[in-house]
Amino acid sequence: MAANPLETIEKIGVVPVIAIENPAHALALADALAEGGLPIAEITFRTKAAAEVLAILKDKRPDFLAGAGTVLDLESVRACKDNGAKFALSPGFDPQITAAARDIGLPFAPGIMTPTDLTLATRAGFRLCKFFPAGIAGGPKALEGIAAPFNHLGVHFIPTGGVSLETMGDWLKHRFIAAVGGTWIARPEDMREGKFAEITAKAKAAVERARAIRAGEA
């Protein structure tokens, strides 16, 4: 049985969060990330290209773990199913969306920002949540306080928004952090300008830093 993609994200420690504008860049993006040691990406539904990109990767790069982000409605859940998304995340908690994802067997991490959000998510059975927007929501100290009453439940988080290569260590040093969301790894302008070698370099740097942090070397 294939590993749960969300478990793979936790093992690697970082997931690239991608707003891709042109489906023609899908394969070059996936190859650049994989070459850098990140054979995984959260393709966000912030662009019209997202569903087509997922379909291309399903067909042409079946071993690449292409998931969906910014899943805000039932239409997006259906698009995940129709286009082969292997996992999905959302910036907030919506019981209709989480139920729909479960109905189709889609590994899903809802978003939280407050203890109320986390109460709803854990009550629904989720033990992995996105923390968004991580930077302006108070950073690692804020999440440490929010998570404290839930630690006995084994909840883990993927903080996204405002995380960088330089601040990864502030997050990953905490045991309740599964991985960080890396919006800096492949920006829309990088793909527009064909800077795929730079994407590979940033992916490699992120993977190496995550490994070093977890090994206590950074």
pLDDT in tens, 88-136: 999 999 999 999 999 999 999 999 999 999 999 999 999 999 999 999 9
What is the average pLDDT across 4-12?
Answer: 92
Fold classified for 5-208: TIM Barrel (3.20.20)
Q: What percent of the chain has pLDDT over 90?
A: 96
Greater confidence (107 vs 4) lies with 107
For residue 73, how many other CB atoms are within 10 A of its CB? Answer: 14
Note the helical H segments in 61-195.
74-83, 95-103, 115-123, 139-147, 168-172, 188-192
CB 27 within 8 A of CB 56: yes
Q: What percent of the chain has pLDDT over 70?
A: 99
Is the sign of the CA dihedral 96, 98, 99, 100 positive or negative? positive
Whole-angstrom distance, CA of residue 28 vs CA of residue 210? 24
* Closest by Cα among 41, 88, 53, 86 to 68: 88
Please give the mean pLDDT across all residues of the chain.
Answer: 96
Question: pTM for this one?
Answer: 0.95
What is the predicted pLDDT for the residue at 217?
Answer: 86
* Closest by Cα among 148, 141, 6 to 65: 6
Q: Is the pLDDT of residue 1 over 60?
A: no
What is the predicted pLDDT for the residue at 3?
Answer: 72
Query: Could you give the 3-state DSSP secondary structure of residue 128?
Result: strand
* Closest by Cα among 90, 107, 167, 174 to 135: 167
Q: Active-site positions?
A: 42, 130
Q: Is the pLDDT of residue 192 over 70?
A: yes
Q: Is the pLDDT of residue 22 over 60?
A: yes
Longest C-alpha distance within the chain, in Å? Answer: 46
pLDDT band at residue 2 using 50, 70 and 90 as cut-offs? low
